[in-house]
Amino acid sequence: MIPRPAMRSKLARLSLLWALSMGALPSAGCGPTVKPETYADSARAAFEDAMEVFGDEDWPEAIKRLTVVKNRYAYSQYAATAELRIADAWFEQDKYVEAIDAYRGFVQSRPNHPDVPLAMYRIAVSYDEQQSSDFFLFPPAYEKDQAVTRDATRALEVYVERYPSDRNAADAQARLRRCRERLADYELYVAGFYLRDERTASARGRLERVVSEFQDLPDRWAPAALTLSKVYGALGLKAEARQMAARLIEAQPKRPEADQARAFLAQLGR
């Protein structure tokens, strides 16, 4: 039986639709299926792109691209590293205030991350590097305000106390000692200023601070102890003067200040 024209037209349309639908499906011989890019794929690509710029030391552009990774892919495995590298980029530019803020944010948001010790070390170093140098056009460091030195000292002390075996601990200890030397020098400088201005009572407080806090620095402690014993004597505090001189002799018996303390004790005895 020959189909009627209307039936033939309908069959033709169905055949065409079937052919089109079959053509839209991949065949076994047409190559691999292209998978759509996932969130993880996009995060990895963005991170690798940012790190390539980071490796080229284009710090502003690296910060820009790493910030995209940090914000857009906050739930990826790359977000934490991106956040730390942003802080590193500020640090490499000697922009220590920005670096401190970035490292501190990393520590606060990811307290259990294995790179927290590194971030805390870099915070301390950032404070330390802000201290003024002793360049010949400027006053010596010990004559300047020591606010930054105190900040550096606190940060270094926290880091060393928490991570005494960390790979950067030795450097932090050396930096901490230099900071403490600078703080002691500042107290001695101010005490000397007060003594020259005949403000003996004011000098007493500065010297007592050195004696109380810096016995681990004998080059600063011994002169402070000797001067303090004489200040006590000048203020009529003979018992305190004898006690301080005796303490100096006991703690540092071979230093020249100890010999001077012995002579001072002999004077007090007369």
**Tokens representing 4?**
């009627």
Domain boundary among 72, 93, 114: 93
Q: Rounded to the nearest 5 degrees, what angle is found at the Cα of 189, between the Cα atoms of 187 and 190?
A: 65
Whether 206 is in a domain gets the answer yes
pTM for this predicted structure: 0.80
Please report, in tens digits, the pLDDT of each residue of the chain (270 residues total).
Answer: 444 444 444 434 444 343 444 444 444 455 555 566 899 999 999 999 999 999 999 999 999 999 999 999 999 999 999 999 999 999 999 999 999 999 999 999 999 999 999 999 999 999 999 985 444 445 555 556 689 999 999 999 999 999 999 999 999 999 999 999 999 999 999 999 999 999 999 999 999 999 999 999 999 999 999 999 999 999 999 999 999 999 999 999 999 999 999 999 999 876
Q: Structural domain of residue 58, as residue ranges?
A: 40-93
Residue burial 229-240, b: 16+ Cβ < 10 Å; e: rest? bbbbbeeeeeeb
CA pair distance 154, 163, nearest whole angstrom:
14
Kindly report, residue by residue over 159-209, the tens digit of the pLDDT. 999 999 999 999 999 999 999 999 999 999 999 999 999 999 999 999 999
Whether 164 is in a domain gets the answer no
- Look at the chain and report how many structural domains it folds into: 2
Domain boundary among 67, 93, 119: 93
Whole-angstrom CA distances from 50 to 3, 29, 66, 231, 257 are 67, 38, 6, 62, 60
Whether 256 is in a domain gets the answer yes
CB neighbours of 67 closer than 8 A, spacing ≥ 6? 82, 86
